[in-house]
Amino acid sequence: MGADIVEGGPVDENGRDDGGHGEHGAHLAGQHVLLTGATGFLGQATLEKLLSGYPTTRVSVLIRPRGSMSGADRLRKLLRKPVFARWRERVGADEVDRIVAERVTVIEGDLSAVRDLPADVDVVIHGASTVSFDPPIDEAFDTNVTGVVTLYEALAAAGADPHVVHVSTAYVAGVRKGVVAEASLTHDVDWRAEAAAAESARAQVETASRRPEVLRKVMAEARAEHRKAGPQAVVESAEPARVDWVHKRLVDYGRTRAQSLGWPDVYTLTKALGERAAEQMWGHTGHRLSIVRPAIVESSLRYPYPGWIDGFKMADPLIIAYGRGILPEFPGLPDSVLDLIPVDFVVNAILAAAASPPPPAEPGYFHVSSGARNPLPFRGMYENVHAYFSRHPMPDSERGHIQVPSWRFPGTTQVERMLRTGERAVELAQRTLMRVPASDRTRTWMRSVHRRQQDLEVLRTYADLYQAYTQAEVIYDDSRTRALHDALPAERREVHGFDAAEIDWEHYLQEVHFPGVTASMRAFSSRPRSKGSADDALPERTDVAAVFDLEGTVVASNTVEQYVWVRLAGTPRSEWTRELTDLVRSLPRYILAERRDRGDFIRTFMRRYEGVDEAELRRLVADSVGDALLQRTMPEAIRRIREHRAAGHRTVLITGTIDVLVEPIAPLFDEVVAGRMHSRDGVWTGYLDSPPLVDEARAAWLRRYAENTGVDLSKSYAYGDSYSDRAWLELAGKPNAVNPDPALYRHAKRKHWKVQNWGQHTRGRLDALTGSVSSEVNR
């Protein structure tokens, strides 16, 4: 999101030299502020405000090094973000550097290990917090509870006695109805016990995840999905599935524990327990403590410029999802209050609270919210969103604009039912599609089912997560916050005020907030869709290979079809019926074998070739069977192979089909790896000479081939059509899914592989049979 979305008002001019006058201590003048969570949404805005609006205040920021970036690096990066753009424009880049060098100190570290804190700190603004509502339980406790403890321990260790402004959330009040006062929470949950339990949860779950019952289930699922791709693929997906299981389980631990104690989610639970820890460790031990509880923080109304926001905040994904037309209904109560508050109000309230510490041992509580005096009902929010997107619809790629739905607020039960029906339908459709034969049409269906599933997932996530917030029949009293605001000198209110009553919701939402949050989405979805079909020109080089699968990739036929050609071409017409009946009778057996394992199938099926005279077969292939194969080739594949050749690439064919049968197209390849039948005195015994080269065996072969020939696989090309080709397709730097089966299609989409749609001029099964094979018989 660029800084130039909304033009700044006259506020900036006023804000320039304000807060500068006044004696030491008033409005933080000359004070030393320690800020945690400076890189977060609230933290950035607070830092900016301190730097631009409090010219004599020194700031220490606690920043955790990340990767190769030190805390100081991260601060430098932070200062280039849009939130600082207006200030930077106003004072100039050099001045920014000077001010930062003079007034900002970086303390490298994080809340799990706070190093020595400066002893001369006057104010601590503790804004660090988890960003997610649904983190695993141990992570949530780590940041929101244990982190708090560490901070207060470190402060105590440093011998400092600052006023701590502890940023919490209004929703710590938990699941309740009616008015919530600005006071200490009334609960008797033992935060130490909960934190300890959360800490040990991971170890328990990790242990549990290794129990055979769990692993067996994970394996079974992995096998069901990936067996076709080979045993290695199964294993490779089983372990991530276990890790995922652990994660989900810990999230469930968190949410369920929170709900059992009266909070909607682990985020609000841990924030509530964090408050209690702050009270016990700081507020009630003779120190000054202010607890600021903002409601849902959204983009700024005025400062640093209208509409500034960093990433998506809580309500924003909902807004976007609505604008994209994927929320047909939502389980919110139309009359419940959606308690939004612009970020600049929250920052101002935090800094105002910071500047007016409560007496020691008597913590102050402030709700920064709008619900009490300027409520925005959920219905009002909906009306604004609807009006906004009706006026400014989101672009729908190249198909005009998206139409937004109208909500009727049918109530939770019905929305839930609708959701569940939708999910079942999608699941069924998906399971069906995985079993039907691959075709262009099924791939179109898959795409739409996939999209529908994503939409439903979004809807499900939001419905579950935000239900508590959009159904809240709770009002956060903000009279103390208001008193804090009223205590501001009149001339400071314009720039440093935070009176929720002055928000004009229609203006704020439609003119300020929505344009801000949708800007990046608009830019994204109005990008022209890629044309997709055009293949890149092939670079000329001799150290790469182009590897092709045969069946379904180069030719549209399969082992059974080829067998039919051979048999019908080689037997008189009178015996066709017997031959075909026998084949059809055995089909179920083959299908079962194919399901089980591709290699098994080939082994079983090839037995049918028992007794075939190899010389006679060669003649048939040269005459009619080869012609049938050519009828069933995909001209695009042939062209692609020839292009690879022309570019100097080695062309390789890997197939389980018998070598004799692929002879008509063998000249296209530098290397043909095909099956070979065992023969005795020129007659086939029905056994293979060596195991069929399928799934991961092909990958192994390809790896060795690359080593022996010096081919650079990472620059090579691979073309396959089936999920069983996954292993060796993945080896190549440029994998292509050709008319993929549903499983490979899904995989290719996820991995952004090229999906080729070949075979436009390929002849039909019957044409090949009547056109070629029967001409053999006619003579």
Chain positions contacting other proteins, by CB under 8 A: 622-623, 626-627, 630-631, 633-635, 638-639, 642, 664, 667-668, 760-764, 771, 775-776, 778-779
Preceding peptide of 360 cis, ω within 30°: no
**Count of C-beta atoms within a 10 Å radius of residue 27:** 25
d(CA 616, CA 606): 17
Question: Least separation, in Å, of the C-beta of 438 and other proteins?
Answer: 20
- 3-state secondary structure (DSSP) of residue 633: strand
Q: To which H or E segment does residue 34 belong?
A: strand 32-36
- Comparing CB distances to other proteins, the nearer of 434 and 638 is 638
Q: To which H or E segment does residue 364 belong?
A: strand 364-368
Q: To which H or E segment does residue 205 belong?
A: helix 191-209
Whether 430 contacts 453, CB under 8 Å: yes
- Comparing CB distances to other proteins, the nearer of 722 and 762 is 762
- Comparing CB distances to other proteins, the nearer of 602 and 672 is 672
- Comparing CB distances to other proteins, the nearer of 518 and 739 is 739
- 3-state secondary structure (DSSP) of residue 749: helix
Question: Least separation, in Å, of the C-beta of 735 and other proteins?
Answer: 23
- Comparing CB distances to other proteins, the nearer of 50 and 620 is 620
* 717 residue type, one letter: Y
- Comparing CB distances to other proteins, the nearer of 209 and 631 is 631
Question: Least separation, in Å, of the C-beta of 557 and other proteins?
Answer: 12
- Comparing CB distances to other proteins, the nearer of 354 and 634 is 634
Q: Is the four-CA dihedral 577, 579, 580, 585 of positive or negative sign?
A: positive
3-state secondary structure 130-186: CCCCCCCHHHHHHHHHHHHHHHHHHHHHHCCCCEEEEECCHHHHCCCCEEECCCCCC
Whether 88 contacts 48, CB under 8 Å: no
- Comparing CB distances to other proteins, the nearer of 159 and 572 is 572
Whether 117 contacts 107, CB under 8 Å: yes
φ/ψ of residue 420, rounded to 5? -65, -40
Q: Is 253 exposed, middle or buried (0-12, 13-18, 19+ CB in 10 A)?
A: buried
Q: To which H or E segment does residue 32 belong?
A: strand 32-36
- Comparing CB distances to other proteins, the nearer of 321 and 638 is 638
d(CA 428, CA 416): 18
Question: Least separation, in Å, of the C-beta of 626 and other proteins?
Answer: 7
Question: Least separation, in Å, of the C-beta of 577 and other proteins?
Answer: 22
Q: Which residues contact 753 (CB under 8 A, 6 or more apart)?
A: 729, 735, 736, 737, 747
Question: Least separation, in Å, of the C-beta of 778 and other proteins?
Answer: 5
Q: How many helices (H) and strands (E) does the chain have?
A: 31, 19
Question: Least separation, in Å, of the C-beta of 704 and other proteins?
Answer: 28
Whether 282 contacts 298, CB under 8 Å: no
Question: Least separation, in Å, of the C-beta of 444 and other proteins?
Answer: 20
- Comparing CB distances to other proteins, the nearer of 592 and 646 is 646
The structure tokens listed for 30 are: 């000359």
Question: Least separation, in Å, of the C-beta of 767 and other proteins?
Answer: 8
- Comparing CB distances to other proteins, the nearer of 531 and 779 is 779
d(CA 694, CA 656): 7
- Comparing CB distances to other proteins, the nearer of 369 and 631 is 631
Whether 267 contacts 130, CB under 8 Å: yes
Question: Least separation, in Å, of the C-beta of 439 and other proteins?
Answer: 17
d(CA 325, CA 312): 18
Strands 178-180 and 340-342 turn out to be unpaired
**Partners of residue 651 on adjacent β-strands:** 546
Question: Least separation, in Å, of the C-beta of 645 and other proteins?
Answer: 9
- Comparing CB distances to other proteins, the nearer of 364 and 626 is 626
* 310 residue type, one letter: D
Look at the block and give the residue holding tokens 């804000």: 15
d(CA 705, CA 339): 64
Question: Least separation, in Å, of the C-beta of 635 and other proteins?
Answer: 5
Which string of b and e fits 77-101 if b means at least 16 CB within 10 Å? Answer: ebbeebbbbbbbebeeeeebeeebe
Question: Least separation, in Å, of the C-beta of 667 and other proteins?
Answer: 6
Give the rounded distance of the alpha carbon of 361 from its chain centre: 45
End-to-end CA, the chain: 75
The structure tokens listed for 204 are: 């328990």
- Comparing CB distances to other proteins, the nearer of 417 and 642 is 642
Question: Least separation, in Å, of the C-beta of 630 and other proteins?
Answer: 5
Whether 294 contacts 346, CB under 8 Å: yes
- Comparing CB distances to other proteins, the nearer of 521 and 630 is 630
Rg of the Cα trace of the chain? 34
Question: Least separation, in Å, of the C-beta of 137 and other proteins?
Answer: 59
